[in-house]
Amino acid sequence: ETGVTQTPRHLVMGMTNKKSLKCEQHLGHNAMYWYKQSAKKPLELMFVYNFKEQTENNSVPSRFSPECPNSSHLFLHLHTLQPEDSALYLCASSQDGDPSGANVLTFGAGSRLTVL
Amino acid sequence: GQNIDQPTEMTATEGAIVQINCTYQTSGFNGLFWYQQHAGEAPTFLSYNVLDGLEEKGRFSSFLSRSKGYSYLLLKELQMKDSASYLCAVEDSNYQLIWGAGTKLIIKP
């Protein structure tokens, strides 16, 4: 497989459940990201990992817990979520040092989360 | 605060030309990106502008004016497959990406 793969594609959970989203990139990139995408709103950056180290945590509630065991895998652990957390969660990766200077993101297709 | 503005929705006809505008107010500027996102799919990179002017890539072109805080994405010879959302994003002086809410483009036969 190539690119960025996210599983599951769809998830329905109750507010008391614990679930995890998984992201895997096969591009050899050194940075990975979690974004939240809600309808008609800008993408919200949640977490950034560079070389497995978390470099960004944009005031995300503790009910979202990221894990990056290696530079190819990224998880988002979910527990006691709220209905307003229902959204599309996008994973992305990028590689520093593009000659153009552009930090181009390669996104996965997302995990559509519904919290009941 | 930092802000990216783009129209919520646009409609165009197959074979025509459409221009999607993006205006921005950010803390510094290190480049502007356009991404395309089909419904239910991943956003994919279209273009990057860091200097003023027009960058052409096939049927798609992207323009930047840094002094005006303005960019547009120009799509020519529209095809039905161009129906998608188009996301504008600016990299600020801290290399943080500031995103617009996206423009949903509907192509009619």
DSSP string, chain B: --EEE--SEEEEETTS-EEEEEEEE-SS-S-EEEEEE-TTS--EEEEEE-SSEEEEETTEEEEEETTTTEEEEEE-S--GGG-EEEEEEEE-TTS-EEE---EEEEEE-
Position A2 pLDDT exceeds 70: no
By CA distance, what is A39's nearest residue in B?
Answer: B101
pLDDT over 90 percentage in chain B: 94
Pairing of strands B9-13, B103-108: parallel
Position B41 pLDDT exceeds 70: yes
Q: What is the pLDDT of residue A99?
A: 62
**Mean per-residue pLDDT over chain B, rounded:** 96
Position A86 pLDDT exceeds 70: yes
Contact of A70 with A19, CB cutoff 8 Å? no
Residue where the block lists tokens 């529209």: B78
- Cα–Cα distances in Å, from A53 out to A24, A48, A85? 16, 8, 25
Burial class (CB in 10 A: 0-12, 13-18, 19+), B35: buried
Q: Which of B45, B93, B94 to mutate to test the interface with A (most CBs of A within 10 A)?
A: B45
Q: Which of A90, A103, A106, A112 to mutate to test the interface with B (most CBs of B within 10 A)?
A: A103
DSSP 8-state secondary structure symbol assigned to residue A9: S
For A33-40, what is the mean pLDDT?
A: 95
Q: What is the pLDDT of residue A98?
A: 64
CB-nearest to A100 from B4, B48, B91 is: B48
By CA distance, what is A110's nearest residue in B?
Answer: B42
CA distance A32 to A50: 7
The closest of A103, A99, A88, A101 to A31, measured between CA atoms, is A103
- Total length of chain A: 116
Q: What is the pLDDT of residue A51?
A: 79
pLDDT interval class at A57 (50, 70, 90): confident
3-class DSSP state for residue A85? helix
Rounded to the nearest 5°, which phi and psi values hold at B80? -55, -35
Contact of A23 with A4, CB cutoff 8 Å? yes
For B45-57, what is the mean pLDDT?
A: 96
CA distance A53 to B35: 27
- Cα–Cα distances in Å, from B49 out to A36, A82, B8, B62, B88? 25, 39, 22, 7, 11
In this complex, do A43 and B41 lie within 8 Å of one another by their Cβ atoms?
no
